[in-house]
Structure 1
Amino acid sequence: MGAAATGASAHTQYGTPTPLDRVIPAPASVDPGGAPYRITPGTQIRIEGPREARRVGEYLAELLRPATGYRLPVTDRGRGGIRLRLDDGPHGAEGYRLDSRRSGVTITAREPAGLFHGVQTLRQLLPPAVERDSVQRGPWLVAGGTIEDTPRYGWRGAMLDVSRHFLTVDEVRRYIDQLALYKINKLHLHLSDDQGWRIAVDSWPRLAAYGGSTEVGGGPGGHYTKAEYTELVRYAASRHLEVVPEIDMPGHTNAALASYAELNCDGVAPPLYTGTEVGFSSLCVGKEITYDFVDDVVREIAALTPGRWIHIGGDEAHSTSHEDYVTFMERVQPIVAEYGKTVIGWHQLTGAAPAEGALAQYWGLDSTSPAEKAQVAEAARNGTGLILSPADRIYLDMKYDKDTPLGLSWAGYVEVRQSYDWDPGAYLPGVPGSAVRGVEAPLWTETIENSEHIDYMAFPRLPGTAELGWSPASTHDWDDYRTRLAAQGPRWEALGIGYHRSPQVPWPTAGG
């Protein structure tokens, strides 16, 4: 499926170091100059800060040791080397400063997340072979100069649908590592849908045991135990990603309706569903047990989720009347607040009354009706924040072209330039720029079954979403970006990522 050309980096990794402005996402400010720093067998990783800073140092050491073969001790003593430093400077919650000179590299940040993002920049400044898990030839040079970097948006997300096809803990962890490389900071897990319920709920055990027993195409499905979900949350946090769990309702609920007959208005449980149609299912809005169910589910998931947000879906509730939809959202949003969380919903939530502080996730198309866009814009002007996920731009499950072996095309074909070349701050008419909280690239899994499929559909489009979320609008330039993106190909090969070799990108060739 179009894996990168083997050996593409062999003739490029030993010359001059990667320029400071060649990384993805593009940094806010770059001041190149001076001699490069060289990582050697004597290099130490020096920490100035609390335990959280040391964790970032250990992460960096674990990244660099296999390919360099160096010990790279993590210490709070000595001079030179790679220095990770926390201070009270003007970097914000996620920003950093990277200084590189012959004597060493210093990454300075206000928060551990900033140090971690600075480490990802350092990683991309090193040759692609640094990603390999066996000792490689050096030299390991970091270009001289200074980067000052802070993100444009606080929400830089990726959504992974584990409901249509179940994905294992290890597969999700692998995706988390890929997201971290590009400074993504939110992992939205779509945990329930018509085809499968993927999280254990003690008070409603058949949701996972029965509702999670299948998937699209009739495979065995699966679900996460509470311990497994907690491990995913912990692992994401170690990469400075916040997990946002989604329980989609009142539609997209056949797995729940099949598990418990009493959630249906007629008291009859439908069969499990393994197809790909949408819009046919709904919780029974008029039954009080519906809200007992929602309360129990939200309470148990909130207790496992340290982050601020719970996503309640709300899209494609075609079999729910508008009046019932509004009633349902009026009942459910306060339940989320009761358990200390803040609501996110798909943008159809703006057809009801979004709770104070709620976010609406817009997934419409360029061709979405003006009335629907106007409804979203009005909510944004009234204080509802927006996450932008336009399907014909950054849905990672859309085919690249007619020959793509995976994916769907209901939103059209989405090639790399289409996914990159737009401005979130000016995308929706009538939406004030201040209402845009960021961007998120969803990956729905009707046709996605494993990590190989994720790799092919996410790469090379995912880094573009990351750049839209992080980099200043002033850095946005397709011709420059496609050149920087091409240079990522050898890194993905070293990481074992089989990506789509889009003809829009001048990928290096073996021997190039």
Structure 2
Amino acid sequence: MNPRHTRSSLLVGSLLLIAATGVSCFADSGDGGGAASAPAVPALGRVIPAPASVTPHEVPYRITSATPIRVPGGSRKAREVADYLADVLRPSTGYALPVTADTGADGIRLLLADEADLGTEGYRLESGERAVTITARRPAGLFHGVQTLRQLLPPAVEARTARPGPWTVPGGTVRDAPRYAYRGAMLDVARHFFTVDEVKRYIDQLALYKVNTLHLHLSDDQGWRLAVDSWPDLAAKGGATEVGGGKGGYYTKDQYRELVRYAASRYLEVIPEIDMPGHTNAVLTAYPKLNCDGEAREPYTGTKVGFSSLCVPEEITYDFVDDVIRELAELTPGEVIHIGGDEADATPADEYATFMDRAQEVVNRYGKRVMGWHQLAGARPVDGAVIQYWGYDETGDAEREEVVRAAREGAEVVLSPADRAYLDMQYPEVTDIPYLGLEWAGKVDVRRSYDWDPGAYLDGLPADAVLGIEAPLWTETLSTSTELEVMAFPRLPGLAELGWSPRSTHDWDAYRQRLAAQAPRWDVLGIRYHRSPQVSWPASAE
């Protein structure tokens, strides 16, 4: 969780890079685009997230029609990564790129090796005249190395039709491993429903930037999005609405399993969230017996929060919780289930603590680890709980102190400060889709989203208690993939970098250069993005 390289060692490395490439550094400190005043980034390091270590040399590798993809050792998972890479490269290059288990010193080589310093997600990428070799200890590291290789190739490599090339990888060595174990993004499919294909599209975008966790917000006042056999009306009735009165929708269990499988193929773990005891109007619409007065609630299609609550004193509430968590645990190969717990304003404080005690016990009973929004810290977090902090500059000291106290007592913390990490907050300038986003936590520009340190964000929080960061994307105003992308890009890559890269690499002027260089890739991939005036964007994809 701590940086693998000190600030001084990175400075030495940077000076070596400058000497090797003839680059001069004249950085300004302003917020404007000004790419000419920012330090130039050597080609081998022009990727996001910033690698831990880059050592360039002058001899590149060129992919040609004779290039094989070699996976010696017979690992099925490594072969799957190689097949994924071939699927990326074949359409644009037009080359066969056969995947083979044959050993050899040429081509693109994916190697698994027991090198402890690479950890579970790290990799080493070496590029030279004869080969590009990605070495990792685990298949996840190979996959992350492949994402770096993609970014080292021209943006046209992302095309699904043949392009002329050439397909040249800069020469040198990248050594890389993540700062934090948890690098997440949340997608709210409850306020507006998103189809399996739309979620898969977002998963692919997250994978490009080495995000390893997809948190799905599956229930809220406006909709319930997962079939539950023991409570079928949760989906049939609770899933029939969304913000604005649309038709809503839900995932069958098979569809949900497919999302989990697809995410795993991109080395993302899915963390499902069932928000409770508040944010439950869709539940109370489907099952009146979970209301203390026994009366069904009307479907809700607005955006207000804090008005709903499960009936804490009634035992049937815990039958519901047990059934839902049991079925959800059966669908969850990962270790974590998120139980929400935020904005339960309609639940008295003593009842809130009672409910969270019992809900946490259910999660543990089914072999899963509890995660909850940071209000859980004000109750009684169980051993091993993960607290997700979503406060912002105006959050009171008492809430912050509760989180710090819980961390000192053993909880781990995922940081999602709303005025920096919430991707649904509006940009300061109007986008080409002007109705997108909210502003209750303020307007968040690209620099503010990037320019903070998770390890020092909450005063008094032990550094080793920070499990990582997450970028939530709430969807009160978002209903299409295009709208998701405009709000996520260009802020998502910066948040991904905060989770992955050593703190010592953090530099706004260098980062905005690397960010601008991503735009042609997004153009080829068909990703819509906001052209923030803080970045000097290229004029076109080519």
Which of 231, 236, 252 is the aligned partner of 2:263?
A: 236
Which amino acid is 1:425 matched to?
A: G
Partner of 1:504: 534
Partner of 2:317: 290
Partner of 1:84: 110
CA–CA distance in structure 1, aligned partners of residues 54 and 489 of structure 2: 26
- What are the residue-to-residue correspondences of 1:469-484 with 2, within 5 Å? 469-484=499-514
Aligned: 1:68 with 2:98: no
Aligned: 1:252 with 2:279: yes
Alpha-carbon shift at residue 78 of structure 1 (Å): 4.8
Change over 3 Å in CA distance of 1:319–1:45 after alignment to 2: same
Alpha-carbon shift at residue 402 of structure 1 (Å): 5.1
CA–CA distance in structure 2, aligned partners of residues 361 and 450 of structure 1: 26
CA–CA distance in structure 2, aligned partners of residues 58 and 409 of structure 1: 43
Alpha-carbon shift at residue 233 of structure 1 (Å): 0.1
SS at match of 1:48: coil
CA deviations over 1:283-325 (Å, ceiling 9, x no partner) = 0000000000000000001101100000000000001011000
SS at match of 2:495: helix
Aligned: 1:445 with 2:475: yes
- What are the residue-to-residue correspondences of 1:17-416 with 2, within 5 Å? 19-49=43-73, 50-79=75-104, 80-90=106-116, 91-401=118-428, 403-404=430-431, 405=434, 406-416=436-446
CA–CA distance in structure 2, aligned partners of residues 120 and 48 of structure 1: 20
Alpha-carbon shift at residue 48 of structure 1 (Å): 2.3
CA–CA distance in structure 1, aligned partners of residues 72 and 282 of structure 2: 50
Which amino acid is 2:500 matched to?
A: W
Which amino acid is 1:37 matched to?
A: Y
SS at match of 2:71: strand
SS at match of 2:303: coil
Which of 459, 478, 495 is the aligned partner of 2:489?
A: 459
Which amino acid is 1:427 matched to?
A: Y
Alpha-carbon shift at residue 58 of structure 1 (Å): 0.2
SS at match of 2:377: helix
Change over 3 Å in CA distance of 1:279–1:71 after alignment to 2: same
Alpha-carbon shift at residue 509 of structure 1 (Å): 1.5
Change over 3 Å in CA distance of 1:227–1:359 after alignment to 2: same
Tell me how large the CA RMSD over aligned residues is. Answer: 1.1
CA–CA distance in structure 2, aligned partners of residues 511 and 425 of structure 1: 36
CA–CA distance in structure 2, aligned partners of residues 65 and 400 of structure 1: 37
CA deviations over 1:193-229 (Å, ceiling 9, x no partner) = 0000000000000000000001000000000000000
User: Retained in 2: the 8 A contact 1:18–1:143?
Assistant: no
CA deviations over 1:24-74 (Å, ceiling 9, x no partner) = 000001111140000000100000231000000000000000100000000
SS at match of 2:318: helix
CA–CA distance in structure 1, aligned partners of residues 209 and 413 of structure 2: 21
Partner of 2:17: none
Partner of 1:10: none
User: Retained in 1: the 8 A contact 2:521–2:541?
Assistant: no
Alpha-carbon shift at residue 403 of structure 1 (Å): 2.2
How many residues align? The count is: 496
Change over 3 Å in CA distance of 1:402–1:508 after alignment to 2: closer
Which amino acid is 1:21 matched to?
A: G
TM-score, normalised on structure 1?
A: 0.96
CA deviations over 1:319-363 (Å, ceiling 9, x no partner) = 101100000011110100111100000000000111111100000
Alpha-carbon shift at residue 152 of structure 1 (Å): 0.1
User: Retained in 2: the 8 A contact 1:18–1:125?
Assistant: no
CA deviations over 1:90-129 (Å, ceiling 9, x no partner) = 2100000001100100000000000000000000000000
CA–CA distance in structure 1, aligned partners of residues 227 and 426 of structure 2: 33
Q: Where does the alignment leave 5 or more consecutive residues of structure 2 unmatched?
A: 1-40
CA–CA distance in structure 1, aligned partners of residues 363 and 171 of structure 2: 49
TM-score, normalised on structure 2?
A: 0.91
Which amino acid is 1:87 matched to?
A: A
Partner of 2:33: none
CA–CA distance in structure 2, aligned partners of residues 314 and 510 of structure 1: 45
Alpha-carbon shift at residue 511 of structure 1 (Å): 9.3
CA–CA distance in structure 1, aligned partners of residues 329 and 102 of structure 2: 41
CA–CA distance in structure 2, aligned partners of residues 365 and 78 of structure 1: 53
Which amino acid is 2:68 matched to?
A: Q
User: Retained in 1: the 8 A contact 2:520–2:540?
Assistant: no
User: Retained in 1: the 8 A contact 2:523–2:541?
Assistant: no
* Runs of 4+ off more than 4 Å: none
User: Retained in 2: the 8 A contact 1:18–1:127?
Assistant: no
Alpha-carbon shift at residue 510 of structure 1 (Å): 3.7
Alpha-carbon shift at residue 463 of structure 1 (Å): 0.2
